[in-house]
């Protein structure tokens, strides 16, 4: 059904803190014809996010990061989540690829070589959040990768985790990876690894 079949009747900010929640009154067209009744819905305004899976084709390794996530802790998972590098688009006009390059340096201390490979653009929770994630894969040299990174001003405490491809897949299969974008990125890598290694083969 076309988005022309939506009428936003009212919108106000229900909460403004570290994030924002907006409240809407709306109605939409029905499959059977006519209009729905007036609905009230809250939307978590998460904004635009960029994630990048850092892969070293020569060493067949992925570079991930581990950091504390309060929602994971509250949900009964480990509060320290192993994830791909990610960040929010927080500058006007900033391209998603530029965010990926910046976050790779800030969170993992690594420079991405060459062009990023687009993976997916998707909404992780369209029933409750406006968040859009642009997911990429970037080529890195994992030699010497490690340490603690992040911006002190943002209280970031981020540990670099380098995993051989087979170990990363084992963690994925055993549900040790619990972060949605990371699960998606690793499944994508499993399906595209051979192509990436051909694409990123060292020059003779």
Catalytic option among 58, 154, 156, 167: 154
Read off the pLDDT of residues 132-161 as tens digits, 9 standing for 90 and up: 999 999 999 999 899 999 888 888 899 999
- Treating both helix axes as pointing N-terminal to C-terminal, what angle do 165-173 and 180-199 enclose, rounded to 10 degrees? 150
- Return the closest-CA partner of residue 66 out of 56, 52, 80: 80
pLDDT of residue 153: 82
Tell me the CATH architecture of domain 48-199.
Answer: Alpha-Beta Complex (3.90)
Average pLDDT over residues 50-75: 96
Mean pLDDT over residues 123-128, rounded? 94
Q: In the predicted model, what is the mean pLDDT of residues 78-99?
A: 91
What pTM, to 2 d.p., does this model score?
Answer: 0.91
The answer to whether residue 126 scores a pLDDT higher than 60 is yes
Per-residue confidence band for 82, with pLDDT thresholds at 50, 70 and 90:
very high
**pLDDT band at 2; cut points 50, 70, 90:** low
Is 42 a catalytic site residue? Answer: no
Q: Which residues sit opposite 35 in a β-bridge?
A: 29
CB proximity list for 83: less than 8 A, separation 6 or greater: 64, 65, 66, 67, 179, 181, 182
* DSSP tag of 129: B
Delimit the domains of the chain by residue range.
3-45, 48-199
- Torsion angle in degrees (nearest 10) through CA of 88, 138, 59, 144: -50
Q: Higher-confidence residue: 5 or 201?
A: 5
Q: Which residues contact 82 (CB under 8 A, 6 or more apart)?
A: 64, 65, 66, 161, 171, 176, 177, 179, 182
Residues 158, 84: contact at Cβ < 8 Å?
no
Q: How far apart are CA 127 and CA 63, in angstroms?
A: 31
The mean pLDDT value of the chain amounts to 94
Q: pLDDT, tens digit, for every residue of 159-173?
A: 999 999 999 999 999
């Amino acid at each position: 059904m076309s988005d022309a079949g939506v009428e936003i009747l009212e919108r106000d900010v229900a909460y403004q803190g570290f994030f924002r929640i907006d409240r809407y009154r709306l109605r939409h067209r029905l499959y059977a014809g006519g209009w729905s009744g007036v609905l009230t819905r809250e939307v978590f305004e998460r904004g635009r996010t960029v994630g990048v899976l850092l892969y070293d084709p020569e060493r067949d390794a992925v570079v991930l990061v581990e950091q504390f996530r309060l929602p994971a802790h509250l949900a009964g998972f480990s509060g320290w989540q192993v994830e791909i590098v990610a960040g929010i688009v927080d500058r006007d006009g900033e391209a998603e690829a530029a965010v990926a390059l910046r976050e790779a340096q800030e969170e993992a201390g690594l420079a991405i070589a060459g062009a990023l490979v687009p993976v997916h653009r998707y909404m992780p929770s369209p029933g409750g959040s406006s968040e859009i994630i642009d997911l990429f894969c970037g080529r890195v040299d994992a030699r010497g990768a490690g340490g603690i990174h992040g911006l002190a001003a943002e209280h970031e405490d981020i540990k670099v985790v380098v995993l051989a491809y087979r170990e990363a897949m084992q963690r994925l299969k055993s549900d040790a990876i619990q972060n949605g974008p990371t699960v998606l990125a690793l499944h994508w890598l499993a399906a595209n690894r051979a192509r990436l290694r051909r694409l990123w083969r060292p020059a003779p």
